Amino acid sequence: MKISCIIVDDEPLSRDVLIKYIADTPQLELRATLDNAIRAMDYLNQNEIDLVFLDINMPKLSGVNLVKSLVNPPLIVFTTAYPQFAVDGFELDAIDYLLKPFSFERFLKAVNKVSDKLSKTEKPEQNYLVIKADKKLHRIKQDEILYIESAGDYVKIFFDDKMILAHETLKNLDQNLPSERFFRVHRSFIVAIDKIVFIEGNQIKIADTMVPVSPDKKEELLAMIQEG
């Protein structure tokens, strides 16, 4: 995956060095080169970027104040010739601090820190399913599903006010739905855990329907409900 980045530096020679280093680093994709923080602020408010190589000491608006002005700043690697600014940079949770002039090897070390940070960032939970039914693709919100019933080569997906018959397998849905929210209570049924009204014997009440629960699944289901 390419890491999108921009350079923000008022010194032409510093920009040239970074442009060369980025060109020699396949995982980086340079989107813009800007010579002041005010232009950078405007760019970042209109574009989504992974990383900024940011000079600290710039006229009118410093790199530190630029980061402070952003609501959701991207990852920052500060670049500066003034080591006394390092503390300010790290107080803003900068990924790294490059003291000019820096080598390509030192630059790569900073890029690897960025790469590690991005790889560990959790992806937002996908809270919907895309299901093919009636020759259409339906985008279904997971939190609207009550339960799902197997019907041969199809599944019936039940909601408060409708049912969708989809050419899908229960096994595939069981593998793709989040296990903390959905549970296969029977070979023919998956239920939304938070939609369960009560459990009585080997039956689960969801809305106005009673759904069977296999004896070997009941204990696990009860444990999940109690933990939740």
At 155 the pLDDT is 94
Single out the residue in 74, 92, 120 at which a domain terminates.
120
At 82 the pLDDT is 75
Residue 89 has pLDDT above 90, yes or no: no
Bridge pairing between strands 28-34 and 51-55: unpaired
Residue 164 has pLDDT above 80, yes or no: yes
- Residue 23 CA to residue 88 CA, distance in Å, equals 29
Nearest to 5 by CA among 61, 58, 56, 43: 43
Single out the residue in 86, 120, 154 at which a domain terminates.
120
At 204 the pLDDT is 94
The better pLDDT of the pair 120, 165 is held by: 165
- Residue 15 CA to residue 189 CA, distance in Å, equals 60
Residues 115 and 133 in one domain: no
Residue 223 has pLDDT above 80, yes or no: no
Residues 217 and 152 in one domain: yes
CATH (domain of 103)? 3.40.50.2300
Residues 220 and 132 in one domain: yes
Residues 107 and 132 in one domain: no
Residues 111 and 136 in one domain: no
Alpha helix positions (H), the chain: 12-23, 37-46, 63-69, 86-91, 104-120, 170-176, 215-227
Average pLDDT, the chain: 87
Residues 27 and 108 in one domain: yes
Q: Where residue 5 falls among pLDDT bands split at 50, 70, 90?
A: very high
CATH (domain of 215)? 2.40.50.1020
The range of the structural domain enclosing residue 107 comes to 3-120
Tell if the pTM clears 0.85, that is, is over it. Answer: no
Residues 90 and 143 in one domain: no
Residues 139 and 198 in one domain: yes
Q: Mean pLDDT check: name the lowest of 11-20, 29-38, 67-76, 200-209.
A: 67-76
Residue 111 has pLDDT above 60, yes or no: yes
At 91 the pLDDT is 62
Q: Where residue 226 falls among pLDDT bands split at 50, 70, 90?
A: low
Residues 114 and 163 in one domain: no
The percent of residues in the chain predicted with pLDDT above 90, rounded, is 51
| Number of helical (H) and strand (E) elements in the chain, helices listed first | 7, 15
Residues 48 and 66 in one domain: yes
Amino acid at 141: K
At 148 the pLDDT is 96
Residues 7 and 113 in one domain: yes
The better pLDDT of the pair 5, 91 is held by: 5
Residue 228 has pLDDT above 60, yes or no: no
Q: Where residue 26 falls among pLDDT bands split at 50, 70, 90?
A: very high
Q: Cβ contacts of residue 93 below 8 Å, gap of 6+? A: 76
Residues 73 and 107 in one domain: yes
As a whole number, mean pLDDT of residues 114-132 equals 74
State the total domains in the chain: 2
As a whole number, mean pLDDT of residues 65-69 equals 88
Q: What is the pLDDT of residues 182-206, one digit of tens each?
A: 999 999 999 999 999 999 999 999 9
Cα distances from 200 to residues 158, 203, 209, in angstroms, run 21, 5, 13
